[in-house]
């Protein structure tokens, strides 16, 4: 599995995501590559995305067992979920090998402020005020926010129909639950097998709290079951 960490495109690292990534790898019993992609704003879009594409293509030829990979998965959380979905879209456009399954955890799939996506008192992390700062943080022209490589909810039905079976997990209490619901509906309408798993009352990317929340372990087990 190739995994892309979250952090709003500007933060996050291999270190703070290592326990979570290890939990997924252990539960699914698979090798996992955690990607150290370039962060904005020092490295403006599309630098980070290009790193993720390069890492995935590299991984397709690097079997830990020395044999040709029969399956390879792709996943990410928060903005890492954005990058994972955007990587998948880019691979489709380039005619490259696709992941066999896609896992998106509390993903950001709409980079613009959308009136249909409402702020929530139950989410202290995400909100429209924060989304207003995306162009400056990510290093993009505000007019590009609608680009489907940044706002995946705008991807064409033709491209979305090529996506692999997908699992999307999001908390019902978080601002980004709208993204999860909207993209899951787009996948389903396009004929892609998709599971939208909604978890009530949990924080954004609760999977990180592997030693504190039983729901983190339960969500990890659901990921493993989906991959296996």
Which residues does the annotation mark as catalytic? Answer: 78, 174, 204
Q: Tell the residue number behind the tokens 């940044």, with chain if given.
A: 150
Q: Which residue from 141, 140, 117 is spatially nearest to 129, judged by alpha carbons?
A: 117
Residue 99, preceding bond cis, omega within 30 degrees? no
Distance CA 68, CA 64 (A): 9
Residues 149 and 82: beta-carbon distance below 8 Å: no
Q: Residue 200 has which token pair?
A: 């009530």
Q: Which residue from 82, 87, 89 is spatially nearest to 156, judged by alpha carbons?
A: 89
């Amino acid at each position: 599995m190739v995994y892309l960490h979250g952090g709003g495109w500007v933060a996050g690292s291999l270190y703070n995501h290592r326990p979570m990534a290890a939990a997924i790898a252990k539960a699914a019993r698979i090798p996992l590559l955690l990607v150290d992609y370039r962060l904005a704003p020092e490295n403006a879009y599309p630098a980070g995305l290009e790193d993720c594409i390069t890492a995935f293509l590299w991984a397709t030829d690097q079997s830990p067992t020395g044999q040709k990979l029969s399956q390879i998965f792709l996943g990410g959380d928060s903005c890492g979920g954005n990058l994972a979905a955007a990587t998948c879209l880019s691979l489709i456009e380039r005619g490259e090998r696709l992941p066999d399954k896609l896992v998106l955890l509390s993903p950001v799939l709409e980079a613009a402020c959308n009136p249909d996506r409402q702020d929530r008192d139950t989410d202290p992390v995400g909100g429209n005020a924060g989304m207003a700062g995306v162009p400056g943080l990510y290093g993009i022209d505000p007019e590009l926010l609608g680009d489907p490589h940044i706002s995946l909810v705008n991807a064409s039905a033709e491209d979305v129909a090529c996506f692999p079976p997908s699992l999307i997990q999001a908390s019902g209490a978080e601002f980004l639950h709208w993204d999860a619901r909207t993209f899951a509906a787009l996948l389903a309408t396009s004929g892609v097998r998709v599971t939208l798993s909604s978890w009530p009352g949990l924080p954004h990317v609760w999977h990180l709290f592997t030693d504190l929340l039983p729901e983190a372990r339960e969500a990890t087990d659901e990921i493993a079951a989906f991959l296996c």
